[in-house]
Amino acid sequence: MGKKVYISKAVTVTCVVAAIGAVATIIALSVVYAQEKSKNEATPPSTANPNTTSTTSTTSTPSTTPSTPKEPWDHYRLPDSLAPISYNVTLWPRLKPIADGLYIFSGHSAVVFRCVKETDLILIHSNKLNFTNFEGHFARLRGLNGAAAPILKKTWLEVPTQYLVVQLNSKLQASSTYELFTEFVGELADDLGGFYRSEYMEDGVKKVVATTQMQPTDARKAFPCFDEPAMKAVFHMTLIHPRDTVALSNGMDYDPVNITIDGQNLIQTSFEPTEIMSTYLLAFVVCDFTFIGSELGEKVLIRIWARRKAIEEGQGNYALEKTGPILAFFENYYNSSYPLTKSDQIALPDFSAGAMENWGLITYRETALLYNPGVSSNGDKEWVATVISHELAHMWFGNLVTTRWWNDLWLNEGFATYVSYLGAHYAEPTWNMKDLIVLNEITGVMAVDALASSHPLSSKEEDILKPEQISALFDSITYSKGAAVLRMLSEFITETVFSKGLHTYLEEFKYKNTQYTDLWKHLQMAVDKAGIVLPHSVEVIMNRWILQMGFPVVTINTQNGRITQKHFLLDPDSVVDRPSPFNYEWFVPVTWIKTGTAAKLYWLVNKEDTNIEMALGTGEWLVANIDMKGFFRVNYDLENWERLLAQLDTQHKDIPVINRAQIIDDAFNLARAKMVDTTLALRTTKFLHKEVEYMPWETASSNLDYFFLMFDRSEVYGPMQAYIKKQVTPLFNYFKDLTLNWTSIPDKHTDQYNQVNAISMACSTGVEGCKELTTGWFTEFMNNSSKSISANLKSTVYCSAIAQGGVKEWDFAWSMYKNATIASEADKLMYALSCTKQTWLLNRYLEYCLDPEKIRKQDATFTIVYIANNPIGQPLAWDFIRSKWDYIFNNYGGGSFNFGRLIDGVTERFSTEFEYKQLLQFKEDHAGQFGSATTALEQALERTKANMNWVTMNKKQVFEWFTNEVSFSTI
């Protein structure tokens, strides 16, 4: 159990008096806030004039700052004149509305800071807060340790750049320390950012949770702060909350104190000071949750918090079981002890991301932390294990050592994504997690990074300034490509050396901030110590992977051993207008095998070279990029392609399973890039009728999905369906036998996944007995809900049955969704409801998406994308978001992490000139209204153009190939 420090009686009395003394001001501020919010909703006000003193803030959408900032407060970055030391923050969230349904919080904050350079200006971040007016100003300033505080000259709120501006009559003195005190009220909104409100129903009663999501730039919505990652400080938190609730924060709580304010019986909970950390890692929650925890006497107190019913049902048990071992794995991996005494993890009903690595209080979506063995699938279980591992990896890499600015976010998130698979592998060694990173992260992001509108992993600081620019970085390039290139690096310097470099990096920079070059330096030290020979330094090699976008396609001519590289683009006709300092050339670690021999490594350090060992003799074949450890695609001369196809047809198991998947994925993407014939790519799927492994099947399925997106509204659809039916029938029968006629669950983790593939593809293509099987299971379930469907198969069964059924099945599923008490079950039903073929039901479901009483805000964008994935629903979803765009953007967009996915998902099927023009018109109609989805919109336009060209070139030959394959099999 974690060590507790108990608050003294004297301090307790002081806190209570301060809280009671502030109540009159707080109540007055609450009334003012309600009035201001009402006015702002009617008429958005402009930013306060620096020459006048305003008494309240605004909550309007920020106006645009001048293109060339003239004053310090016009800049989005803080000046380097002040450095915070500590914050003392007290907040009181109201869990019941005060008026007109408005929920608020009130509080006060004292930040102690050091003056680094003389200045007569204090800029501190503040967003959507209303401040107490102290003698005409929004703050009080006092000097500490004998320093004299200048008199305040003017204070105002600079809305566009989100500052509280404090001008002084004289200068703060360098090396002196000061304290700035503010008192404020904010809205406890349901916007999933800053200090916000989450709601859920329990036994027919609405419960309210006050919780936080600060990353990247929303700590300023909770209290005024220097809200940049390099502005690390210590935080002393106090929360005032109702008697029937518990308060949590980063630090361990002191003994709660009962207080009374204005006749209300409340609790005041203070917390141990945090370690020195960034504002985005701060967290606090007020709720009536309960927890399960580690045994008394453990070095680190581990607690899993969730709704009471969820904990009572044992949904937190798996997380508790795996958190300790994963934490121990990372202590060993980093060779560094966990820096804190506790690790609280809490599952929230409303949460925008998957989870957030707040130091000591990690927040999760319920689906990312809770697991119910009887209801949740193996996929749900894997998600819980990998997300916990991802967040715990951050406790060192990101929290203890933090990147200086958001332009290096990739290092933080890419690293955590990569090592999350190592931690999950340690926790579940039979799952092959080190292999599954290829499917879960790498193949998907390669499709994004092969666009001309992609971006480098590391951006220039000056290019990432505004909150929406920062939010846009939370994309698959940052997470998945970041993971892929770090995995590649770990492979060619070895995992042991990689781990040793991390240890010295963490030791040197703990509680500090870094840039990516600091990591390269420490990895180079480890490489030198181990005597590993590389063609260039770690920095020189890796800069080509992080400072230029994209990746190469390596082409090997096995006739003469010639090997070349070029920038791989899905659309070779697209224009790359982003310059590269390296002319889009890379230093490529090429691993390869020849006819089953041991793998070798060859460094391609030029645009072209020759390796005579790669020349083949009679009857030999060659495969490069073993286990897809390198982030590049591979093309071969036609002769080697034919030999690989022949090998797959005769002895496919001689080729490693990941490389069987890679051959399929590379071929299909090379075909889209016009580097090989599309029919060659299709031929890589012919061996699948005897393949039973998950990775090749999943790769084929995802690549054939593109064909469905392009052709499911054309004459190609029929023969394409018939071909897939022919290929998947043996797999369907294999799992029928393996599971004793669907009465048992396969033992292997990946077999459980592939069973789902078999049933899903078999039902969608009309394999005999499949639809009857799934609709039968669903009908039994409708008639008797105690007749449960296998957890792994629920998504497939629900979707298939709802697609075959009508309003009766849909309404039943909707009722089950609304009454679901397990988040992963609700997610499956939410997806399945989009599978209906009834247009009016899909339209009704779309309308539900913008009603938070029906679909939670965190799920709205996902649900719209699910509907768009349905061929019938796609045009409905597109019409819907165009007609509702203003509302969606203002209520669901802007800084939301999921917003780019909405644009991406709804436009994924676009492949005609008409759709391209609609997309251009959409861009024009809503210019400046895309926020963090701006990049996604440009990628959608590029992808649509590429799709148009691809369909024009390939439709005829694809139709003929599928037709011939089906005709041949029936002769």
Catalytic residues, which ones? 391
Residue 613, exposed/middle/buried by CB under 10 A (0-12, 13-18, 19+)? exposed
Q: From 784, 845, 787, 788, select the one nearest 811 (Cα to Cα).
A: 845
Distance of CA 337 to the CA centre of its chain: 27
Distance of CA 925 to the CA centre of its chain: 29
Query: How far apart (Å, rounded) are the C-alpha atoms in residues 665 and 668?
Result: 5
317-334 and 495-509 helices cross at what angle (nearest 10)?
90
Query: How far apart (Å, rounded) are the C-alpha atoms in residues 423 and 384?
Result: 12
Query: How far apart (Å, rounded) are the C-alpha atoms in residues 344 and 692?
Result: 41
Phi, psi of 230 (to 5 degrees): -80, -15
**Contact call for residues 286 and 209 (beta carbons, < 8 A):** yes
**Contact call for residues 359 and 277 (beta carbons, < 8 A):** yes
Show the CA angle centred on residue 126, arms to residues 274 and 353, nearest 5°: 65
Task: List, in sequence order, every beta strand (DSSP E) within 173-251.
Answer: 177-187, 194-202, 205-213, 234-242, 246-249
Sheet holding 608-610, edge to edge: 608-610, 562-567, 552-557, 633-636
Dig out the tokens for 415 from the structure: 């690293």
857-869 and 873-883 helices cross at what angle (nearest 10)?
140
**Contact call for residues 418 and 482 (beta carbons, < 8 A):** yes
Residue entry with tokens 């000061």: 178
Angstrom CA distances, 554 to 56, 206, 504, 630, 633, stand at: 61, 58, 35, 11, 6
10 Å Cβ neighbour count for 379? 17
Provide the 8-state DSSP code for 948.
H
Q: Which amino acid is at 546?
A: I
Provide the 8-state DSSP code for 376.
S
Beta bridge partners of 285: 248
Provide the 8-state DSSP code for 511.
T
* Alpha helices for 341-377 (secondary structure H): 366-369
Let me know how many helices (H) and strands (E) the chain has, helices first: 32, 29
**Contact call for residues 418 and 433 (beta carbons, < 8 A):** no
Query: Which residues, including other chains, have CB under 8 Å from residue 964's CB and lie 6 or more apart?
Result: none
Phi, psi of 671 (to 5 degrees): -65, -40
Query: How far apart (Å, rounded) are the C-alpha atoms in residues 441 and 655?
Result: 22
Query: How far apart (Å, rounded) are the C-alpha atoms in residues 397 and 696?
Result: 33
Is residue 589 reached through a cis peptide bond, with omega within 30 degrees of 0 on the bond before it?
A: no
**Contact call for residues 248 and 348 (beta carbons, < 8 A):** no
33-70 burial by CB neighbour count: b if 16+ within 10 A, else e?
bbebbeebeeeebebbeeeebbebbbbbebeebeeeee
Query: How far apart (Å, rounded) are the C-alpha atoms in residues 414 and 482?
Result: 4
Dig out the tokens for 532 from the structure: 């590993």
Query: Which residues, including other chains, have CB under 8 Å from residue 913's CB and lie 6 or more apart?
Result: 948
Dig out the tokens for 870 from the structure: 């349905």
119-131 burial by CB neighbour count: b if 16+ within 10 A, else e?
bebbbbbbbbbbb
* Alpha helices for 443-599 (secondary structure H): 443-449, 467-472, 476, 482-493, 495-509, 516-530, 538-546
